[in-house]
Amino acid sequence: MLAQQNILALLHTFETAALHMSFTKAATTLNLTQGAVSQRIRSLESMLGFRLFI
């Protein structure tokens, strides 16, 4: 269950970053640091095997 919650958190972070087109604005919305958003996106990209933002 923990892994599933983690995946959902990563996807939610991606959705928020994509909506705002900004890691900084996503961080503010999610009450995280910009670095935490970046790290979550990197984790999701690693799981999927491709880059999400170029």
pLDDT of residue 2: 52
Torsions phi, psi for 29 (to 5 deg): -60, -40
User: Which percentage of the chain shows pLDDT scores above 70?
Assistant: 93
The answer to whether residue 42 scores a pLDDT higher than 60 is yes
3-state secondary structure the chain: CHHHHHHHHHHHHHHHHHHHCCHHHHHHHHCCCHHHHHHHHHHHHHHHCCCCCC
Instruction: For residue 14, give the amino acid letter.
Output: F
Would you kindly state where each structural domain of the chain is located, as residue ranges? Answer: 2-48
CB 16 within 8 A of CB 29: yes
